[in-house]
Amino acid sequence: MALMFFSEYDDPREWKEHLVALMPDLDVRIWPDLGRLEDIDCALVWKHKPGDLKRYPNLKMIVNLGAGVDYILTDPDLPRGVPIVRLVDPYLTKQMSDYIVLTVLAYHRRFPEFARAQRERRWQYIHPVDPARTRVGVMGLGVLGGDAARRLRELDFQVAGWSRTPKAIDGVASFHGADGLMPFLDRTDILVCLLPRTRDTDDLLDARTLRALPQGARVVNAGRGHLIVDGDLIAALDDGQIAHATLDVFRTEPLPADHPYWRHERVTITPHCASVTLPRTAAPQIIDNLRRLRDGRKLLNRVDPAAGY
């Protein structure tokens, strides 16, 4: 089997090494040195060049080198009928939950307020509170949101989640669908956003939904930047409705130098690094899917292009 690799963000040699270690006869070709395009059975891509994937007449599977498939699905020239699978990398999941736990604990232990007090040389004592009194709400209870919710529950926070369909996670209250959104926001002191970008989630956090949170709520978004209406979040931060936002993802990346988020004292920015896919931990499932493809078995982690995730 021949696999073509394209990513401007990842080291192709490292990927090749891990893939070939598991399937020695796999013919890994690194874009643009692809030889005969007719040979390519599978494409492993992150932020590929739009239109490129229709150049391979015998392509049988597209592997999105990451969890979010919003970028790949925007390509109007995706070859019809070729299944798209995404990566569900155990290390990426753990790393994301670490980022969420770190941020939620920082909010819970009031680190943003202490940083501000330090800049002003103020001794500002804030008595720590019981985590069981802090209500965390996780938007998106899929692979990443589900794991983050479990990890937060282990820390004794009151955890709820919101998803499209109901979920049963021990100790985590489940809200779902349009009807569940407002009650979910109403009970959420710290909002964790781990939704995919789809036509239904674009602009979900706007003036109306941000106002549905209790006054002084904190937000962390590691899903996609398009989930938030930036102007509405800035207005909510300015009037105290939202006390702080930690943002890892943005509508435009890199975040433009003149964006108001950079200078906002209640915003913490990380440069889309909450979590990354590692070749070592992600290669086994790519090989598993290649074997499934070869044997005509059901593929794992298949994307539903109609749903957008």
User: Cβ 22 to ligand OXD, closest distance in Å?
Assistant: 21
Q: Quick one: 34 or 278, whose CB is closer to ligand OXD?
A: 278
Report if residue 285 touches ligand NDP, rule: CB under 6 A.
no
> Binds 175, which of ligand NDP, ligand OXD, none (CB < 5 to 8 A, cut-off by type)?
none
Q: Looking at residue 254, what DSSP letter applies?
A: S
CB 214 within 8 A of CB 186: yes
3 state DSSP class of 152: helix
For residue 184, which of 159, 155, 220 has the smallest C-alpha distance?
159
Paired tokens of 215 = 């006054």
Q: Return the residue of 113, 200, 202, 230 that touches ligand NDP, per CB under 6 A.
A: 200
What phi and psi, each to the nearest 5 degrees, are found at residue 261? -60, -40
Amino acid, res. 214: P
Residues 266-295 that bind ligand OXD (CB under 6 A): 277
User: Cβ 141 to ligand NDP, closest distance in Å?
Assistant: 4
| Rg of the chain, C-alpha, whole Å | 21
Amino acid, res. 233: L
Q: Quick one: 96 or 282, whose CB is closer to ligand NDP?
A: 96
Report if residue 145 touches ligand NDP, rule: CB under 6 A.
yes
Q: Report the residue number whose CB is nearest to ligand OXD.
A: 66
Q: Quick one: 108 or 226, whose CB is closer to ligand OXD?
A: 226
Report if residue 142 touches ligand NDP, rule: CB under 6 A.
yes
**How far is Cα 205 from Cα 140, in angstroms, rounded to an integer?**
13
Report if residue 226 touches ligand NDP, rule: CB under 6 A.
no
User: Cβ 37 to ligand NDP, closest distance in Å?
Assistant: 30
In the chain, where do the E strands start and end? 2-7, 27-30, 42-46, 61-64, 84-86, 135-139, 158-163, 172-176, 190-193, 217-221, 242-247, 267-269
Report if residue 180 touches ligand OXD, rule: CB under 6 A.
no
Q: How many chain residues touch ligand OXD (CB under 6 A)?
A: 4
β-pair partners for 245: 219, 267
CB atoms within 10 A of CB 135: 18
Give the H or E element holding residue 15: helix 12-22
Q: Return the residue of 23, 59, 63, 67 that touches ligand OXD, per CB under 6 A.
A: 67
Give the CA dihedral 111, 112, 114, 120, nearest 10 degrees: 160
Report if residue 223 touches ligand OXD, rule: CB under 6 A.
no
Q: Return the residue of 7, 66, 84, 149 that touches ligand OXD, per CB under 6 A.
A: 66
End-to-end alpha-carbon separation of the chain, Å?
27
Report if residue 100 touches ligand NDP, rule: CB under 6 A.
no
User: Cβ 41 to ligand NDP, closest distance in Å?
Assistant: 25
Q: What one-character-per-residue DSSP string does 268-303 give?
A: EE--S-S----HHHHHHHHHHHHHHHHHTPPPSSB-
User: Of 63-71, 121-129, 132-140, 172-180, which segment contacts ligand OXD by CB under 6 A?
Assistant: 63-71
Residues serving a catalytic function are 224, 272
Give the H or E element holding residue 53: none
User: Of 34-42, 126-134, 231-239, 271-279, which segment contacts ligand NDP by CB under 6 A?
Assistant: 271-279
> What is the binding site for ligand NDP (CB under 6 A)?
67-68, 92, 96, 140-145, 162-165, 194-198, 200-201, 222-224, 248-249, 272, 274-275, 309
> What is the binding site for ligand OXD (CB under 6 A)?
66-68, 277
